[in-house]
Amino acid sequence: MRKAIPEQVSQTEITFKVEEIEAILSPPDMVIKPWSPMYCDLKQKDGAKKTMLIRSIERDEIPLVLPYIKRYMDIDRDLYDVVGARVYAELLAMLRNRIKDEYFLIGTVDGELAGIANGRLLSEKINISLHTMAFMRGMNAGAVLYYAKCVYCFEVLQQEEFWATYESYNGWKRWGIGMALPTYPYPDVQHELGGARVFYLTRKYWDAYIREYTKQLAGTELLPNPLPELLEKNKQLIIPTEILV
Ligand SMILES: CC(C)(COP(=O)(O)OP(=O)(O)OC[C@H]1O[C@@H](n2cnc3c(N)ncnc32)[C@H](O)[C@@H]1OP(=O)(O)O)[C@@H](O)C(=O)NCCC(=O)NCCS
């Protein structure tokens, strides 16, 4: 838009360095406690045991993971397509500094990507759950990754509320129903994912009931302080070659 100037000016054009514009266009992140790696034992349907490490994605791993997530956009099964498309956008936005305070956890088994879970901080008090995906199926990798986000919210960041919504029946069954979560009045309060209902988890409810839920759901516990050997085994990220749905 242009408008007549109200008085004489010494410069009729002012230019900016794109670095200056970047400082305005990229949302400023808060300084938050990082996620420290945790691990759990998972059982596959055939009884085989797998140890999954949950750690934050490294920035230089993002370009390796993006093409794998992209493949899920074409999987019209169990809502992998819409979740894949959104996760791709969120991960790319993280790389391009176009999302505020996103965290992105990856679950790996012997280095191989088993699933992801991401979210972002709306404020110091409220944690927004974005997505969870399981790439190794049938061993509750996704269930535990989602639980890890709650641990991050309540135990590490000491936040007050965790706001989720569910695109898929599996997600809703595992966590919305599984954790018996209430919803905020709808449509007055909408989740940033497509304007769906907000299912919320409060600190009180977490402390009273939900902290133990992962034992019920996945029959496992999320443990801190993985041994150096486990960290070493999972240092080099291996992208799966196949899509299992
Ligand atoms: C939702 C999700 C993260 C749950 O992950 P998970 O806890 O590891 O669970 P799985 O995906 O392995 O299994 C979910 C159910 O589907 C069944 N299942 C479906 N296809 C399966 C397959 N190919 N192999 C094994 N199990 C399969 C499982 O037996 C399980 O049944 P149960 O609920 O009776 O235990 C995962 O299903 C997923 O990534 N879905 C697509 C993306 C999505 O919906 N994300 C959440 C958005 S709300």
Contacts 24+ apart (CB under 8 A), 79-84: 79/167, 79/168, 79/169, 79/170, 79/171, 80/133, 80/245, 82/167, 83/131, 83/133, 83/167, 83/168, 84/133
Residue 3 lies in a domain: no
Residue 241 lies in a domain: no
Q: Which ligand 1 atom minimizes the distance to the CA of 172?
A: 48
Q: How confident is the model at residue 2 (pLDDT cuts 50, 70, 90)?
A: very high
Q: What is the amino acid identity at position 76?
A: D
Please give all residues whose beta carbon lies within 6 A of any atom in ligand 1, as ranges. Answer: 78-80, 83, 131-134, 137-138, 140-143, 166-168, 170-171, 174, 244-245
Question: Over the chain, what is the mean pLDDT?
Answer: 96
Taking the centre of ligand 1 as the mean of its atom positions, its distance from the CA of residue 99, in whole angstroms, is 27
Q: Which ligand 1 atom minimizes the distance to the CA of 165?
A: 48
Please tell me the distance from the alpha carbon of residue 125 to that of residue 142, in angstroms, as a whole number. 25
Residue 225 lies in a domain: yes
Average pLDDT over residues 173-201: 97
- Comparing 212 with 40, the larger pLDDT belongs to 40
Q: Which of 170, 193, 213 to mutate to test the pocket of ligand 1 (most atoms within 8 A of CB)?
A: 170
**pLDDT value of position 45:** 86
Average pLDDT over residues 90-94: 98
Dihedral angle computed from the Cα positions of residues 83, 85, 88 and 90, in that order, rounded to the nearest 10 degrees: -70
Copy the structure tokens of residue 47: 């009884």
Rounded alpha-carbon distances, angstroms, from residue 111 to 43, 114, 157, 168, 230: 17, 9, 27, 27, 9
Q: How confident is the model at residue 5 (pLDDT cuts 50, 70, 90)?
A: very high
Taking the centre of ligand 1 as the mean of its atom positions, its distance from the CA of residue 3, in whole angstroms, is 57
Residue 83 lies in a domain: yes
CATH number of the domain encompassing residue 90: 3.40.630.30
**pLDDT value of position 195:** 98
Phi then psi dihedrals of residue 153, to 5 deg? -65, -55
Residue 138 lies in a domain: yes
Minimal CA–CA distance to 234: which of 81, 5, 39, 12? 39
Average pLDDT over residues 62-82: 98
111 near 234, Cβ under 8 Å? yes
Residue 19 lies in a domain: no
Copy the structure tokens of residue 37: 């790696």
Please tell me the distance from the alpha carbon of residue 130 to that of residue 193, in angstroms, as a whole number. 7
Number of domains the chain is built from: 1
Q: Is the pLDDT of residue 216 over 90?
A: no
Over residues 106-157, the pLDDT tens digits come to 999 999 999 999 999 999 999 999 999 999 999 999 999 999 999 999 999 9
Residue 29 lies in a domain: no
Strands 161-164 and 126-134: parallel
Q: Is the pLDDT of residue 230 over 90?
A: yes
Percent of the chain with pLDDT over 90: 94
The boundaries of the domain holding residue 223 are 34-233
**pLDDT value of position 217:** 80
Q: How confident is the model at residue 193 (pLDDT cuts 50, 70, 90)?
A: very high
Average pLDDT over residues 17-23: 97
Q: Which of 113, 118, 135, 137 to mutate to test the pocket of ligand 1 (most atoms within 8 A of CB)?
A: 137
Please tell me the distance from the alpha carbon of residue 185 to that of residue 195, in angstroms, as a whole number. 12
Residue 7 lies in a domain: no
Q: Is the pLDDT of residue 3 over 80?
A: yes
**pLDDT value of position 172:** 97
Q: Is the pLDDT of residue 214 over 80?
A: no
